[in-house]
């Protein structure tokens, strides 16, 4: 039964515009129930489900109007994992792997420790662990590594006056690939598509020299990448460089760059000074960044019906690059790089 005082309080709740909607809804359920309407009719008028009607009828019978105006405290959720369990997950992740597997998976860890998959994922996310990922590295074993790094970074950060600093290399075996079917364009919610198979129309080699001071690139496409082509490219660079300037050329240890005929050519051109990067340290050659951008922006998704088509696309990219070049800027001093490399593991013989 709903008394007169309770009806008055409930009516005041319904008429109070500042009341929370849930309180008004509960008061209406009890008022409709006081009219001896069926549960289905009360639910329809109040806009709630039948279980909600039963719940608030029972709450009113047990606690009165005050029970409608406050929510019961809910029982706490699952307790946090013990620190020992978290420590065990971290220790296993960073040390041993399960059986002959190469790394831990979330399900394997959950089974081994006796917790849920989601708990393992939360621990890994909180401690920034990603067992499924791996990064590769290669430490140079060049005995003159430190001297070469210091020399080349010195050219980048403090280029000598009245000189040109060039980063020279070749990108070989660039394939002229033609897709077997046309792909679909990019659409909202869908990425562009292209067939995984292709037709080969031959290869070309790009010789390039990046001017560190102004960022311009001199490039030549040739069919092969032997010492003859390299000398032809050096002649092209020689003609394009203003007379009277010393040319400091940074190159890797590819055999073509050290061929006896190349050395003889350098002896006939005394203004050229070659600086070779350490072995397994191509990241020191600035032109590699240009090759990477060329691959991503022009070659990887390109469709080329012939070698001439490929070479034309490469030349257009170089021209576009030279229309708005940016000087190459090296920011890490040699001491910082050498100190970081000293913290890496020493390769075993």
Helix or strand (DSSP H, E) at 64: helix 50-68
pLDDT tier for residue 345 given thresholds of 50, 70 and 90: low
Which pLDDT belongs to residue 74?
Answer: 72
For residues 126 and 84, give the distance between their C-alpha atoms in angstroms, rounded to a whole number: 16
Which pLDDT belongs to residue 7?
Answer: 85
For residues 292 and 290, give the distance between their C-alpha atoms in angstroms, rounded to a whole number: 5
Q: Which of 71-80, 103-112, 314-323 has the lowest mean pLDDT?
A: 71-80
What three-state secondary structure class fits 29? helix
CA angle 178, 184, 186 (to 5 degrees): 120
Which pLDDT belongs to residue 347?
Answer: 55
Whether pLDDT at 197 is above 90: no
Which pLDDT belongs to residue 277?
Answer: 92
- Bridge partners (DSSP) of residue 272 are 247
Torsion of CA 89, 95, 98, 103, to 10 degrees: 100
Where helices occur in 75-211 by DSSP H, the ranges are 83-94, 106-113, 117-126, 145-157
**Whole-model pTM?**
0.69
Share of the chain above pLDDT 70, in %: 98
Average pLDDT over every residue of 301-309: 91
Which pLDDT belongs to residue 343?
Answer: 75
Closest CA to 232 of 251, 197, 256: 256
Which pLDDT belongs to residue 84?
Answer: 93
Whether pLDDT at 322 is above 90: yes
Average pLDDT of every residue of the chain: 89
Average pLDDT over every residue of 164-182: 91
DSSP label of 252: -
Average pLDDT over every residue of 161-175: 92
Which pLDDT belongs to residue 34?
Answer: 87
Question: Model confidence over 113-128: pLDDT tens digits?
Answer: 999 999 999 999 999 9
Q: How many helices (H) and strands (E) does the chain have?
A: 13, 5
Q: Does residue 326 contact residue 216 with C-beta atoms inside 8 Å?
A: no
Whether pLDDT at 334 is above 80: yes
Helix axes 227-240, 260-268, angle to 10 degrees: 20
Whether pLDDT at 35 is above 90: no
348 is written with which tokens? 């075993």
Which pLDDT belongs to residue 335?
Answer: 87
Whether pLDDT at 348 is above 60: no
């Amino acid at each position: 039964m709903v008394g007169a005082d309770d009806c008055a309080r409930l009516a005041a709740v319904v008429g109070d515009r500042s009341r929370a909607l849930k309180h008004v809804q509960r008061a209406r359920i009890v008022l409709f129930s006081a009219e001896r309407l069926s549960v289905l009719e009360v639910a329809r008028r109040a806009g709630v489900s039948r279980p909600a009607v039963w719940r608030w009828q029972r709450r009113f019978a047990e606690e009165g109007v005050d029970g409608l105006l406050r929510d019961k405290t809910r029982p706490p959720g699952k307790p946090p994992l013990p620190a020992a369990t978290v420590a065990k997950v971290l220790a296993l992740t960073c040390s041993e792997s399960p059986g002959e597997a190469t790394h831990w998976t979330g399900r394997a860890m959950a089974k081994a420790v006796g917790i849920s998959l989601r708990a393992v994922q939360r621990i890994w996310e909180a401690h920034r662990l990603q067992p499924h990922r791996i990064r590769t590295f290669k430490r140079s074993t060049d005995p003159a590594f430190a001297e070469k790094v210091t020399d080349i970074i010195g050219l980048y950060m403090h280029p000598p006056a009245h000189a040109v600093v060039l980063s020279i290399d070749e990108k070989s075996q660039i394939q002229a690939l033609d897709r077997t079917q046309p792909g679909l364009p990019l659409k909202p919610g869908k990425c562009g598509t292209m067939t995984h198979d292709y037709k080969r129309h031959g290869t070309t080699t790009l010789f390039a020299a990046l001017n560190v001071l102004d960022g311009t690139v001199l490039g030549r496409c040739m069919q092969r990448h032997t010492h003859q082509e390299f000398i032809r490219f050096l002649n092209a660079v020689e003609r394009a460089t203003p007379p009277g300037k010393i040319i400091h050329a940074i190159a890797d240890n590819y055999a073509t760059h050290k061929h006896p005929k190349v050395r003889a050519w350098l002896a006939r051109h005394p203004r050229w000074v070659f600086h070779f990067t350490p072995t397994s340290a191509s990241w020191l050659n600035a032109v590699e960044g240009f090759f990477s951008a060329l691959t991503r922006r022009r070659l990887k998704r390109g469709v080329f019906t012939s070698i001439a088509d490929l070479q034309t696309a490469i030349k257009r990219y170089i021209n576009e690059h030279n229309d708005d070049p940016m000087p190459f800027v090296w920011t890490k001093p040699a001491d910082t790089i050498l100190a970081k490399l000293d913290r890496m593991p020493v390769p075993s013989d």
